[in-house]
Each structure stands twice: as C-alpha cells, then as structure tokens.
Amino acid sequence: MSNVGKVSLVRVTLPAAVCLAILTACAPPETAPALKEGKMKITSPAFQEGAAIPSRYSCDGEDISPALSWSGAPEGTRYFALVMDDPDAPGGIFTHWIIFNIPADSRGLAEAVATEPQLASGARQGRNDFGKLGYGGPCPPRGALHRYHFTLYALDQPLNLTAGVTRKQALDAMRGHTLAQTELIGTFQR
C-alpha cells in the first residue's frame, strides 16, 4: 500500500514540476530581471505614490522629467538604471524613459534632466517609444486613467550599452546584475 502512495505522489509532483519549468522558460523576453528584495525606495517631490502626476511633466505641459530621489540601495551597488513606462497604453507597455549607468553615489535625479545621449555624470539615456532620447512625459489618449511606473534598479556593474537603446535591450543587459529594484507609480488622465 505504501508503494501506491509513492507512485501517486510522483504522478502529481512531476506534472506540476514540468508545468513550472515550462512557464519559467516561456516568460516573455521583456519581463523585468529577477528581483532581489531590499529596502530601496524611490520618491518624488512632484507627486505621491499612486497620485496624479502634475500636467507640467506631461505632453500637455513642459514635458520635463520630475525630480526623483532614492535611498536604501544595497551593498555592492555600483550603478542605477531607471525605466519609466505605461502598462495601460492601448498597444501594450509604452516606454517613456530609460536612463542607465547612473553612478552609485547618486541619490536621485534633478527635475528636467536634459534629453541628451550622455549626461555629465556618465549616465546614458535610451530611446523612448516616442522615438526620442530621454524623457517623454505622459501623453495618453483622452479618456481612461493611465499608470506610470518609475522603476529603479540597483546594479552590480555598468551596462555595456550605448545611448539610444530600447527598453528590451536595457532589461536584457540588467538580467543577472540587479541587486534590488523599487518603483514609484503615478497616474495621469487627459
């Protein structure tokens, strides 16, 4: 009778393990790198977590980046990267900003970061889904409320990428080098 129980356990466990392996292997290529929990936090003086992003930072305003600050980076952090995107866009995730190789001693980004390929700090900027380098503010179609995720990554090495990279290229380069990540979510509606 004990052999029957063992066989049943194998029949239940093996399909579950196979399903888990298939789901893991088939994860979409644009998913974020593996997470490591930490106490890192990102904030903005322009808006609170879950609150509306002022129109000044949108295509209806000055279209400048909001000031951001962060704390709690884990030991071993050598660089930061930031990706801002809108998961509510009609065509799927819409990338508004990619900035990477931000030095580890940085504790934030000032308001109105220049939309240049490389900043004086050495940080580089990717191409957003507007087809431009640097920040592109919220500019959703009129109607529904959209959420904007500012995701900060603490990295153990610089990304060996040139300015103008896509979100996918940046996320792929971060894979295996992310020590921690955190996010700030703001909303915008037109």
Digit-coded pLDDT (tens) for 104-119: 999 999 999 999 999 9
pLDDT 10s digits, 5-61: 443 333 434 444 433 343 334 444 344 444 444 599 999 999 999 999 999 999 999
What gap in Å lies between CA 144 and CA 55, rounded to an integer?
15
Q: Which domains are seen in the chain, by residue range?
A: 32-188 (3.90.280.10)
Tell me which residue of 36, 188, 164 sits closest to 98, measured CA to CA. 164
What pTM was computed for the model? Answer: 0.81
CA distance 75 to 93: 31
